[in-house]
Amino acid sequence: MEKIVFLERHTLRAPLRDPSFEHTMRYYADAEKRPEELVERLKEATVVIVNKTPLRADVLGRLPKLKLIAVVATGTDNIDLEFCRARGIEVRNVRGYAAETVPEHVFMLALALSRNLLGYREDVRAGLWHRSEQFCLQTHWISDLHGGTLGIVGYGTLGRGVERLARAFGMEVLISEHKGATSVREGRTAFEEVLRRADVLTLHVPLNEETRYLIGHEELALMKRTALLINCARGGVVDEWALAGALRKKRIGGAGVDVLSTEPPGLGNPLLDHDLPNIIVTPHVAWAGHRAQQELADRLMDNIEDFFKRAED
């Protein structure tokens, strides 16, 4: 009988079907990051379902029965993949389940920033429209996405989804080549050129040693002063202090971020400063559309069932 332990069950708001093989399943609603407590929860598990809880060698090395880590997400940066390979623990994630909901979130942020939605909302609440001498209140600059240039860094399922929406909006789309690449593939544009030309720059790369701080002081300095930066990838892809500085100095036009370097964020994150101009921060919910969550739940169980079916074969 397989013993399945689902960590952070509360992060997936969708029904989960029972696997077809004989099993027991135990759920933990909360996240637990203390190694001793994690080992206690997982010591009998043959399958661990995890979202963002770190599973490093100090925990994995004390779980001799573990066969499979099923990730309820695309990113696997919270798992020691090298250790898993060495120990024969399979890791399966779910890709492409948010192909519509994340691109919609990207454009929600881009539209809200380019049209100064929050600024106008606050002005109306403050009574400025009531006191206006004309029929409209033009207290903030408004930009159109149509006719602008969208730069995409990371051209997987989500990047392609953003591209489809951008073309529907009538935008020119630039697909970035890898940073530091010595040649540029057909259909791609050099990374630095994308930074210089983009009116909206959106990030869709995993977090690893190559992409950590992909966008920092030097990269922000290359961008247009009116450009918007959208990050719905991972917080560590952007140097948050550099971004905060660029916004304060009006080095770029604005930023929309759905992810931070530490989640939930602690005190002192520079992007959560209430005085920081022209930024919208959402709490890692770009992926969380209802249909996307159900697809994620279904494909999670597909991954688990397929693993044991292959083991039988």
Catalytic residue status for 284? yes
Structure tokens given for 247: 């916004």
In whole angstroms, how far apart are CA 128 and each of 113, 135, 137, 268, 274? 20, 12, 8, 33, 22
Catalytic residue status for 234? yes
Distance CA 279, CA 264 (A): 18
Distance CA 175, CA 150 (A): 9
Identity of the amino acid at 15: P
Residue of 225, 263, 290, 291 with catalytic role = 263
Residue of 197, 204, 284, 299 with catalytic role = 284
Distance CA 54, CA 218 (A): 31
Residue of 105, 197, 204, 234 with catalytic role = 234
Quickly list H helices, the chain: 35-42, 57-60, 81-87, 101-114, 117-125, 157-168, 191-197, 217-222, 240-248, 290-312
Which residues are annotated as catalytic? 234, 263, 284
